[in-house]
Amino acid sequence: MAVLNVNGKSLEANADPRTPLLWVLRDTLGLTGTKYGCGIAQCGACTVLIDGVATRSCQVPLSSVGRKKITTIEGLAQGGTLTKIQQAWVDLDVPQCGYCQSGMIMAVTALLASKPQPTDDDINAAITNICRCGTYKQVREAIHAVAKA
């Protein structure tokens, strides 16, 4: 039985140590905001923060997590108040189907924490998440809107 530090809470996770964090979050802890898209760290739908670093949770075995701080999409808003990034996503209606947006928002959260005023090149380098609806235009606009605010 592993005890994980997820969104500021200690949670028990009874799963095989080789299980990817993605599936521990989804199936064991019921945190389904983190999505499965490819299982090979290509698409970024499963992105979470591990000690603040945007990480593709499909490639992180449970055994490697220990007590590192995990933040999922459910852990961003505090008391129902969205983060500035989430709010920008709402203001600009970034999501279409929305399936990739949890991972997208987590990746952007990490980017803006390290670079509050990213250039387009910074965005291109850091945001490699796949969106098949094609929200990239609105994602870029929303990132710049947060940086300007």
Partner 1 sequence: MTIQTSLGRRHFLVSGAAVAGGFSLGFRIPFDEGAAQAAEVKEVNAWVVIHPDDKVVIRIARSEMGQGTLTGLAQLVAEELECDWSKVTTEYPTPGENLRRNRVWRNFSTGGSRGIRESNEYVREGGAVAREMLIAAAAAEWKVPAGECTAADSVVTHTPSGRKLGYGHLAAAAARLDPPKQVKLKDPKDWKLIGKPLKRLDTREKVNGSQIYGIDFRLPNMLVATVKACPVPGGKLKSHDAAKVEKMPGVKKVVAIDGNAVVVVADTYWNAHTALAALPVEWDTGKFGDVQQDAITAMLKEGLDASEAFIGNKAGDAKAAIAGAAKKVEATYAFPWQYHATMEPMNATALYTPEKCEVWCGTQNGEAALAVAAEAAELPVAKCDVYKLMLGGGFGRRGRSDYVRQAVLVAKQMPGTPVKLIWSREEDATHCQYHPTTMCKLTGGLDASGKLVGLQVRISGQSILASLFPQSLQNGKDPATFQGLQPGGPEAAFGYEVPNLLIDHAMRNPHIPAGFWRGVNVNQNAIYVECFMDELAEAAGQDPLAFRLGMLKPKYATVLKAAAEKAGYGKPLPEGHHHGIAQVMGYGSYVAGVAEVSVSDDGTLRMHKITAATDPGYGVNPWLIDRQVAGSFVYGLSAALYGEITVKDGAVEQTNFDSYNVMRIDEMPEVAVALVPSGGFWGGVGEPTIAVAAPAVLNGIYKATGKRVRELPLMNQNLKKGA
Q: Figure out which of the listed residues 47, 71, 109, 129 binds partner 1, where binding follows CB under 8 A.
A: 129
Q: Is 145 in the site for partner 1 (CB under 8 A)?
A: no
Q: Are 111 and 105 in contact (CB under 8 A)?
A: no
| Number of neighbouring beta carbons within 10 Å of residue 23 | 19
CB of 66 to partner 1, least distance (A): 19
Residue for token pair 């098949």: 132
CB of 29 to partner 1, least distance (A): 6
Residues 56, 40: Cα–Cα separation, whole Å: 9
Residue among 55 and 102 whose Cβ is closer to partner 1: 102
Burial-class residue 51 by CB neighbours within 10 Å (0-12, 13-18, 19+).
exposed
Q: Is 12 in the site for partner 1 (CB under 8 A)?
A: no
Non-local (6+) Cβ contacts of 57 within 8 A are 20, 21, 22, 25, 34, 46, 47, 48
Q: Is 29 in the site for partner 1 (CB under 8 A)?
A: yes
Q: Is 115 in the site for partner 1 (CB under 8 A)?
A: no
Residues 78, 57: Cα–Cα separation, whole Å: 22
Q: Is 96 in the site for partner 1 (CB under 8 A)?
A: yes
Size of the site for partner 1 (CB under 8 A): 65
Residue among 42 and 117 whose Cβ is closer to partner 1: 42
Interacting residue ranges for partner 1, rule: CB under 8 A = 6-7, 9, 11, 15-16, 19-20, 23, 26-40, 42-43, 45, 72-77, 82, 86, 89-90, 93-102, 105, 123-125, 127-140
